[in-house]
Structure 1
Amino acid sequence: MTTRTPNFTGWRAVILSEEDGNTDRLRRQFGLLGISASLQWTPLAVADLPDLVLIDADRGWDELLPISDIAPACPVVALLGSEAPGRIAFALRHGAGAIIPKPVAASAVYPALVLAASVHAERVEARRRIAHLEERLKLRPIVFAAVARLAGERHVDEERAYAILRDCAMRRRMPIEQLAAFFLGGSETLREVG
């Protein structure tokens, strides 16, 4: 996957933390990057998700960020000053794509945001590809049924019937599952193969 460095101008971020020197440094860096940031120490509303979430992984609790690593809706960055395995697991469980160590150094902010945005984009693309493959997998019985019918009609073995179906699909530039469904539905006779 080719990744471009994002331009964060116009992004809206929520920092889930209590106000301290770290949050001051974050907001100052965000201002330089064109990101508008708000600070809150109450659970994030799912209905109003920002473009980016930063969460204090040292002190955060599960309900603070109601999204998970399975499908984070936006890039997540963890603010972490602890090496405690439980706090690192908390950050991962909530979809953190990057960590900014505490105390926050200005030079750590931009790379962490780029990394989190990149990881999030890869996750979104992976979910899309998995959904596509799962859909095709659900249609495999249709392909098997079409192969069996074609083998019976043309008096060929299943390997040859599959090759016929595959070649027709490739010639017509359509998924084999779609051609198999047309064939089984009677709207396609596959005339071009003897």
Structure 2
Amino acid sequence: MSVWFQDDWGCNLTNGKPTQALRLTSELLRDLRSLNVVVFHPQDKDGEMLLQQLERIGCRTSQFWPPRPELSELTDLIFLSINPEFNVAEYAWFNSENCPPIIAVVAYENPTIVNLALKIGVKGVVACPIREFGLLTSMVITRQCFKDIAEGRKRIQRLERKVAGVATVYEAKRILMASKKISEEEAYAILRDQAKSKRVEIEVIAETIIYAQSIMSI
């Protein structure tokens, strides 16, 4: 007979053995336990509760208030108490390329707070008063969303480079076709053979031809 119960993290176990989904959950939890979490929150009841929950998960935490103008390179996740008095311009790491994911800690909702959260670039939100339930889920989802966004940006950059490369090769072919009175296929063959012989990307040869043409034009 199957026995169903929850472990200390609220994970479902069958006969004491984790299913495939639970193994994924375990990996996520192990990942969370390795995090360096910075908590920018006043040392009040909510701040204490937040630290307690993070320590229960196993995160390495540090607390500061007000937020520091610079971040440690080892920071993996940020909890940030948001209030209307924030001056976003004071903190250069907001929305910076290397900024780790930020989870906003908010005590109430209004357009000012929502707009501020968008300006800061938060990826998740937890509400005050801080409770045991929901914090773990917020951390997992925030980090996954942050990872998905980062991977999406990389894909876009690769596509942009690819499109730029196609345009560069096309321009180089046009130059060869005009200067040597050859077909497009013959021009491409020249580019391909040169790239192969020099062991470089065809775009590099194309850029060289375009640069040489610009010099000749001068």
| TM-score normalized by the length of structure 2 | 0.65
User: Relative to 1, partners in 2 of residues 1:17 and 1:89: Cα closer, same or farther, differing over 3 Å?
Assistant: same
Quote the residue 2:16 is aligned against.
Answer: none
Counterpart of 1:20? 44
Unaligned runs of 5+ in 2: 1-26, 213-218
1:14 match: secondary structure: strand
Residue 30 of structure 1 corresponds to which residue in structure 2?
A: 54
Residues 1:36 and 1:59: Cα distance change in structure 2 (over 3 Å): farther
Return the alpha-carbon distance in structure 1 between the equivalents of residues 106 and 186 of structure 2: 59
Match of 2:171 in 1: 145
Identity %: 18
| Post-superposition offset of 1:146 | 2.2
Is contact 1:58-1:82 (8 Å) kept? Answer: no
Larger relative contact order (CA 8 Å, sep ≥ 6): 1
Tell me the amino acid that sits aligned with residue 19 of structure 1: Q
The offset of 1:129, in angstroms, is 3.2
The 5-angstrom pairing of residues 5-84 of structure 1 reads 5=28, 7-49=31-73, 50-59=75-84, 61=86, 62=88, 65-69=91-95, 71=97, 73-84=99-110
**Structure 1 position 155 matched with structure 2 position 182:** yes
User: Cα deviation per residue 1:30-59 (whole Å; 9 max; x = unaligned)?
Assistant: 112111222211232425242111111235
Q: Deviations over 1:78-112 (max 9, x none)?
A: 01122212211211221211101111121111111
Normalised to the residue count of structure 1, the TM-score between the two structures is: 0.71
Unaligned runs of 5+ in 1: 187-194
Partner AA of 1:41 in structure 2: W
Deviations, residues 60-91 of structure 1 (Å, cap 9, x unaligned): 61256432336351011001122212211211
2:50 alignment partner AA: L
Paired with 1:27 and 1:34, the residues of 2 have a C-alpha distance of 10
Instruction: Give the conservation status (yes or no) of the 8 Å contact 1:43–1:66.
Output: no
